[in-house]
């Protein structure tokens, strides 16, 4: 007897974005820092990651992390992995119970889910990720597992907003060539980037049916980590999984 197709499986995508509160890390990482690469005490980060797993109701080894490099490499996983996926900025799965994690502190955590196809993805989308097409690459990875863009919903998590993200005019132009909607003016009237607007444009252009924005700005919201605001700081996570 053949197995049932993925679309018939009884799975439900779930998405969560963490914030700074409730962890073990000390200043300047206080307190729920999930980033292991920012100089925080390793034991505190491990305790915070264990707490995340407990809160989600999974074993800690079911959390899938990436070594994010502001690129467009996509990894497809079907089982727990040992350590962060090397040089990866998007991870895709169709395996229930694997929790895909993206770390951010101003970049956009993009959480994609296709409940019909039973496929999810977590994407790290900063300025370079938008410019090099990490989200279209993630959608292509999902398609290889049977997902269709029309069935995908996207959550664009908290990130630096266009009013706060000032960039040189040439840098703005580089991103605008790929994502015109990203080019904005900051509240000071200088060239800026609204990465979520650019990503929404790309997602709609790819045929994604629903795009939801978390409107919080990491620079303005003190309960969120922001490298642009604080320099040395922690990382919150966007996570997505099939339950």
Summarize pLDDT for 72-129 with one digit per residue, the tens: 999 999 999 999 999 999 999 999 999 999 999 999 999 999 999 999 999 999 999 9
**In the predicted model, is pLDDT for residue 7 greater than 80?**
no
- Please give the full DSSP string across the chain, using - where no structure is assigned: -PPPPGGGS---EEEEE--STT-SPPTTS-S----SSSS--HHHHHHHHHHHHHHHTS-GGGEE-B---SS--EEE-SS--SSPBTT-SEEEE--TT-EEEEEESSSEEEEEEETTTTEEEEEEE-HHHHHHTHHHHHHHHHHHTT--GGG-EEEE--B--TTT-B--HHHHHHHHTT-GGGEEE-TTSSEEE-HHHHHHHHHHHTT-SEEEE---BTTT-TTS--HHHHSS---EEEEEEE-
**In the predicted model, is pLDDT for residue 5 greater than 50?**
no
State the CATH architecture for 6-242.
4-Layer Sandwich (3.60)
pLDDT in tens, 185-199: 999 999 999 999 999
How much is the pTM?
0.94
> Residue 11: what pLDDT?
83
Q: Tell me what the pLDDT averaged over the chain comes to.
A: 95
Percentage of the chain modeled with pLDDT above 70? 96
> Residue 80: what pLDDT?
95
**In the predicted model, is pLDDT for residue 4 greater than 50?**
no
Mean pLDDT across 158-179: 97
Mean pLDDT across 22-34: 97
> Residue 9: what pLDDT?
53
| Residue 7, number of CB atoms within 10 A of its CB | 16
**In the predicted model, is pLDDT for residue 152 greater than 60?**
yes
Domain coordinates of the chain in residue numbers?
A: 6-242
């Amino acid at each position: 007897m053949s197995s049932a197709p993925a679309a018939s499986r009884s799975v439900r995508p779930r998405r969560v974005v963490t914030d700074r509160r409730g962890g073990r890390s000390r200043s300047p990482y206080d307190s729920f820092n999930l980033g292991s690469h920012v100089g925080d005490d390793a034991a505190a980060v491990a305790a915070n990651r264990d707490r995340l797993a407990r809160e989600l109701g999974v074993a800690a080894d079911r959390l899938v992390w990436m070594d994010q490099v502001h690129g467009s490499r996509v990894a497809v996983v079907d089982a727990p992995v040992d350590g962060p996926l090397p040089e990866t900025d998007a991870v895709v799965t169709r395996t229930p119970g694997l929790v895909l994690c993206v770390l951010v502190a101003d970049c956009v955590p993009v959480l994609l889910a296709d409940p019909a196809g039973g496929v999810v993805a977590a994407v790290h989308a900063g300025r370079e990720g938008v410019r090099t097409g990490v989200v279209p690459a993630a959608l292509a990875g999902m398609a290889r597992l049977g997902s269709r863009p029309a069935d995908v919903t996207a959550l664009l998590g908290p990130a630096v907003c266009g009013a706060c993200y000032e960039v040189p005019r040439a840098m703005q132009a580089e991103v605008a060539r790929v994502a015109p909607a990203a080019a904005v003016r900051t509240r000071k009237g200088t060239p800026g980037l609204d990465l979520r607007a650019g990503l929404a444009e790309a997602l709609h252009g790819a045929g994604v049916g629903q795009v939801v924005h978390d409107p919080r700005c990491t620079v303005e919201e003190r309960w969120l980590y922001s490298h642009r605001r604080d320099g040395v700081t922690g990382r919150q996570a966007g996570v997505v999984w099939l339950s």
